[in-house]
């Protein structure tokens, strides 16, 4: 049900304030803190998790949210391809960053879970900018409180490894193994798209398949085509609540060089948009865009791509959200 758009929750137009002026927020939306009297009117919250303490090689994703906020001034309010105007449909706001603890992994993860838990209690759908891919685990811990979720993962890596460096269980290469072990994700409603790259072995892939995870390598994606593959993805997750996690390294490094673990042979930037648009109809309850590392791309192009994909995810998420005021649906 559409409603009269609240001017307070509309993004600032570049026709009124130049893009290079003002304090940057995600999509130029209003910035709200928990204590703001209008916080309870938010339907979708955009937030950053500026933390990369799970990174095993090239760091820098902790700077992702800040640069994506800056580059998001280029985003306009309507998607002319899908016809969706998310900010006119629902109330969206920038809820700021989860304050990380850069010297304590467990504390940082707990802070993320606590932040998302507050959002869930207030019926606010999270759209998160990372941060490395470990940040998805504490988000799932908050959202899966009512039972295991379906999961759609766009990535070049499975992130299903058991441990790194002598038994360390929490890195950006382990979040989805932990999520399955903790019962946060139903492995039979879990599909990974775009997997590729060289490997040490196939332990992660074989473990995932044994649990029931559907792993679609990039070769299969290209051979079958995006519409056919995404039809299977929609069938796998069904109509039950589902989360989407999008690693920017799903995209070929020609288009997204600013990421810690790039893999050649991936989709181009248009195909990166297409897979999201094919999620229409999926019962998405949240999403994230992770692993944008600004220090590895001085042009800002990777952050621009990342926030553009965030907008595509926002458009899809907005279709599943009931407009509400003070936690009452209308």
Tell me: the pLDDT tens digits for 133-158? 999 999 999 999 999 999 999 999 99
* pTM of full prediction above 0.85: yes
Give per-residue burial for 181-210: e unless 16+ CB within 10 Å, then b: eeebbbbebbbbbbbbeeeeeeebbebbee
Model pLDDT, residue 327: 52
Model pLDDT, residue 323: 58
Model pLDDT, residue 1: 43
Per residue in 205-239, pLDDT tens? 999 999 999 999 999 999 999 999 999 999 999 99
Per residue in 43-53, pLDDT tens? 999 999 999 99
Per residue in 289-325, pLDDT tens? 999 999 999 999 999 999 999 999 999 999 988 655 5
Model pLDDT, residue 59: 94
- Structural domain boundaries in the chain: 41-329
> 41-329: which CATH topology?
3.40.800
């Amino acid at each position: 049900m559409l409603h009269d758009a609240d001017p307070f929750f509309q993004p600032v137009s570049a026709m009124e304030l130049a893009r290079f002026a003002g304090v940057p927020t995600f999509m130029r939306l209003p910035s709200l803190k928990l204590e703001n009297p209008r916080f309870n009117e938010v339907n979708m919250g955009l937030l950053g998790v500026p933390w990369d303490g799970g990174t095993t090689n090239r760091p820098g994703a902790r700077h992702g949210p800040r640069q994506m906020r800056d580059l998001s001034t280029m985003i306009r309010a309507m998607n002319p391809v899908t016809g969706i105007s998310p900010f006119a449909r629902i109330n969206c706001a920038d809820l700021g960053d989860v304050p990380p603890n850069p010297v304590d992994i467990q504390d940082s993860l707990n802070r993320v879970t606590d932040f998302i838990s507050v959002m869930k209690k207030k019926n606010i759908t999270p759209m998160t900018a990372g941060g490395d891919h470990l940040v998805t685990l504490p988000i799932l811990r908050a959202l899966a409180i009512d039972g295991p979720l379906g999961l759609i993962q766009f990535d070049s890596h499975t992130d299903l490894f058991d441990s790194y460096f002598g038994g360390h269980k929490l890195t950006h290469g382990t979040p989805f193994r932990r999520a399955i072990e903790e019962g946060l994700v139903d492995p039979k409603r879990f599909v990974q798209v775009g997997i590729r790259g060289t490997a040490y072995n196939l332990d992660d892939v074989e473990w995932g398949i044994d649990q029931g995870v559907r792993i679609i390598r990039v070769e299969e994606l290209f051979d079958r085509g995006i519409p056919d593959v995404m039809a299977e993805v929609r069938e796998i997750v069904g109509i039950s609540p589902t989360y989407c996690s999008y690693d920017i390294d799903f995209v070929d490094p020609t288009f997204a060089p600013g990421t810690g673990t790039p893999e050649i042979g991936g989709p181009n930037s248009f195909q990166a948009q297409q897979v999201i648009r094919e999620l229409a109809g999926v019962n998405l309850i949240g999403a994230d865009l992770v692993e944008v590392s600004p220090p590895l791309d001085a042009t800002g192009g990777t952050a621009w791509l990342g926030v553009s994909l965030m907008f595509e995810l926002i458009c899809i998420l907005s279709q599943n959200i009931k407009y509400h005021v003070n936690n009452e649906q209308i």
